Structures are given as structure tokens and as C-alpha cells.
Structure 1
């Protein structure tokens, strides 16, 4: 690593800690170093055409995907702030996200990405990665656009009828979705994913119908009547529909947490001791999502304490509904 690369990496790391401490908008400025420290922009973009926040009337702006689905679901909210500044707002994203992200206000057209490039397009005048939008709008904790929902179930859901039958309400039971693990290739997977057995503690709560959202679970919690929806969740559209049938989602830190929050679905997120920057520190709520509650490990690896807190909270919720 060259001295210049070391500096870029140091700045990128500093952005993480700045944003974790809530130091905005300076943290967003440092966050731009992700492109030289870790990520590469698509080859079809021209650096001189990057949008700087100016009005772009009678022109088009391409917002393009980066990183994971959670990043896209979190930061696409800014599209509604982009739209008043210009002409056509386009979005390039992965095909499995396209229909859901297309429900966001401010997006005029969605281009699914195939082999790293958008499909046939009429071209665009300006471009910007979605995760750079908070920097453009000089976002701080007080100005986060937190109005939800801004994402919804798209019109076409491949397995709608199957999901309706699988998630049919049982009188007197709260429908609770569960997601205990994210992508196994995520660099922090060993810390943020929850051992399925840790969720066995939830079995003590009466009046809950349990639904698993894991796509291909190698193991599942030992919960009475647990219905795994994974085989019916073909794209994020099906996941969005399944979420719309839930009264609550309990999840590890992964993309579905952001989708639930963006849809206004009540969601409880269980975090490792060292959280991602977007969850900040020492708070049980999120300025990004009004329907979210956060449960944090008191020490590294301590999922039993987290689940004990979740059991107590869910028990209180159940007694309140009785």
C-alpha cells in the first residue's frame, strides 16, 4: 500500500467513526474516501459528469447502486429531495431490488443492472452513487428525512397467493417475522448474525405466530409452529409483500431491517457490540426509521442478554395487547 493509499484508507476509517458518533455532515465528506480505499465506480461513468447538487432542469440524473441492499433501501429516500432540483431522475440497481426501489417517490425510471451495466438506456447527463446523497444535502442528525413509508409493495409479486396462504392471520396471534443472519460473505457476518438457537428463548412468549425470512437456512430456531417463508421470497418484491403481512419483524443487522423500516413496518434490530455506523451509539431508536427499536449487545458476543431484553419487551407487548 502506497502512502497515498494509506491516507485514503485512514480517512475512510475515520468516516466510519465520525458517522458512528453522529458527526455529520463532516462524516459524509470523509465517507467519499470509500471509492479510493475500498470500492470502484462503474466503468461506464464519466467523472466530469458527477452531480454536485446543482439544478438540472431539462437534463437527466442517474443514481446508481453500490454496496448492499440495505444501503440502497436506506439512502434512496433522498430521491424525493433530488426530484425538485431537476428533470428526470433515473436509478440503476440490481434486478432483484428494481421493483421495490421503483416505488420510491422521486424516481422516474429504474434500469436493472446486468453484468455490471444498466440495460439498454437512452443515456443520462449526470450521475451520483446513492450513498453520496446525504453529503449532497449536508445531512445531519436533525435533518435526516425520516418520513416513512417511502417504499411499498410493488404491483407484481410472483408468489403473492402462496404468501397470503402461508401468513394467514390466526385470531389472537401476533405475526412476527424473524431474520437471524445476513449474507455469509459479509466481512462482519460472524459478529452481526445471530445463532439460530439463541432465538429459542422467544418460545416462552405466548400468542405469537413465527415466520422465518431466511432464504436457505442451515438451521432454524426451535419455535413452535415456525413457518419458513424463504422458498417464496424470490426477489425483494416478495419480501416486501411478506413484510406487509407482519405485525413485527425481529432481525439481525441486514438488508431486511432497512426495508421494513422504509415500509413503516415495526422492526426490532439486534446489534453486535460494535455496530455499523448508521446505528450510532447508546440509543434504542433510529433517526432513520420511526418504527425501529434497537437492542444492543452489552459485551462482544453476548446474544443471550440481547434475547433476554427482547423476550421482556415482547412479553410486555403481548400483555398490552391482551
Structure 2
């Protein structure tokens, strides 16, 4: 059978989520869980991000272990469900990627965190569930995704001024490259370099949150580098910005979970969680989506972004107009 990508509407579950029909997606998930339970086939030898964990056991009144087997962005997006989980569970432990442990420890509903590793968790529990299975188990709806922010930065970080910073200027942090597993999500650096020049001429201060740039690309950018490999420090720096602009990667979810104004740039074949044709998202009320238009490219999306950033002072670039 041909493998289906994360944006392929031939998958009925993904198609349901992309049109915002969570109830239809959960009905499909119910059938999948029932099949797994009936077959009793172990999956612990599979790659962790492909493993199913929850087999339909009740969560109410139980000690629940939440396993974070997907990416950092997935954990940041779905940790919001620790709060409704804790309202029914006796105790919630999150086995989380070490880079996120401090941030997740402060999330509502989390009683304890353990750093994820290759072995087995050193904790007693009654039932376990993968973090991305929580939405199904709790039967969430697009209207019931919970309040934002649900994560908090420890403090705003001190940032480069880039000249006088007052109500007439904006400081905007940029992330334009996603993980190597899906290069279509990334914007070419030369396009960003030209955008930064135009923004600076308009009195907007572009700042680089992007990590992992080759030195030759970094030297082409007329912008200060404020990026950090530490997620807590990145959160603090986001707290000091007027706006975060990111492609579909961990930084977008971090900004959204912190309740920071954010614009997320999406390729034509965007992930199921961003639905279809929307410029907003129920997952993050402070986020707006800028999509590559059909038949277009990143140049078109950046033109839309630039127009949003050039709105008059006092008008939020993320406001719906």
C-alpha cells in the first residue's frame, strides 16, 4: 500500500481533521483502537513515533502516565490537554523530552515530569497514553481546545535594540527553516535576507530566532541573532518580541502556547492540524496563518506577510481584516 503523508486527504482521519470535523476523526480512532485491542499485537518494537499506547482504558480516577513520543512541537501543542485530563485522573505524570521538562512542569494539570529516555519510565502508573492520543481520549472539539496561554516564559529576555524601540517600531523574530525531514516547510534563506532589508527600511527590526544556519547563510542576513538552543531561553526571548514569524516547526507551537502574537507560514501541502483555507486556527487564538497560494510559491506568501507587517502602528499584524 502506498504510504500516505501527513497532509494526504486520502486518509479519512486526516481529511476529517482538516475540515474541522473532530467527531468524525474520533469515530475513526475508536475503530482503530478497537482493532488494536482485538488483535493484541505488540508494537513496542516499532519506532516510538509510530507506536500506539492507549487501548481505550478508562482514565478517570487513575494514575496516568503521558508518554511524549512525537516531536517537540507536538508535545507543546498537546500538553494543553493535561489540564482536562487532571480533572478526571488521580495523578498525571508526563514522560517528556528533556528539552521541554522545565516548561512542561509548569503546565496546568501536570503533577510530575520525568525526562524521556530509551528505557522504561521509573514511575508507578495505572494507565498510559501517548500525548497525541489525549485529544481522542478526551473527545475534544474545535471549540473546546482550552485557554491560551497554557505555558509561561520565566521572564522576558533582554534583546538587541536595533535602534530606538518605541510605539513606532516592531521587533519581529523569525524562524524560516523546519526539520530536514520535510524541506517543503522551509523558506529559502535568500528570500528572507531580502525581506529583512525591506523591513528594516520600513522601521521594523527583524531578529533571527532560527537555529542551525550555516555560517555563509548567516552572513547574508542584516539582522541580529537572538536564537538559542535552550527552549526556556527561547521562550523568554519570544516574550520580549512584538511578533514571532515561523514556519511549521516547534517555534510556532511554542509561540502559540505562550500566547504570543505569531504568524505561521505554511506551504501548499500543510499539515492536517492547520485545516484547510483558514487564516486563523482554533489551536492558537493569537496566531494567524499565511499560506502559499495554489500555483504560487514562497515569494507570494512572503508578500502577504510583508503587507501584514506594514500595517499602521497600533494595528496588530495578526488582527483579522
Which interval holds the TM-score relative to the shorter structure?
A: 0.7 to 0.9
Q: Which runs of 5+ in 1 are unaligned?
A: none
Q: Distance in 2 between matches of 1:222 and 1:257?
A: 24
Say how many residue pairs are matched.
296
Q: Distance in 1 between matches of 2:107 and 2:225?
A: 28
What per-residue deviation string (whole Å, max 9, x for no partner) do you get for residues 201-239 of structure 1? 243232222221122212249553x11123xx2321111
Structure 2 equivalent of residue 198 of structure 1? 191
Matched, 1:178 2:178: no
Contact 1:273 1:297 in 2 (8 A): yes
Q: Aligned-residue CA RMSD in angstroms?
A: 3.3
Structure 1 equivalent of residue 211 of structure 2? 215
Q: Distance in 2 between matches of 1:263 and 1:214?
A: 18
Structure 2 equivalent of residue 85 of structure 1? 88
Q: Which runs of 5+ in 2 are unaligned?
A: 317-321
Structure 2 equivalent of residue 245 of structure 1? 240
Q: Distance in 1 between matches of 2:161 and 2:126?
A: 45
Matched, 1:60 2:67: no
Matched, 1:123 2:124: yes
Contact 1:19 1:28 in 2 (8 A): no
Contact 2:13 2:28 in 1 (8 A): yes
- 1:12 CA displacement: 9.0
> Helix, strand or coil: the match of 1:241?
helix
Structure 2 equivalent of residue 22 of structure 1? 20
Contact 1:105 1:150 in 2 (8 A): yes
TM-score (norm 1): 0.81
TM-score (norm 2): 0.81
Matched, 1:298 2:296: no
What per-residue deviation string (whole Å, max 9, x for no partner) do you get for residues 112-159 of structure 1? 0123544xx3421111111011111222223222x111011258xxxx
> Helix, strand or coil: the match of 1:288?
coil
> Helix, strand or coil: the match of 1:27?
helix
Contact 1:16 1:31 in 2 (8 A): no
> Helix, strand or coil: the match of 2:293?
coil
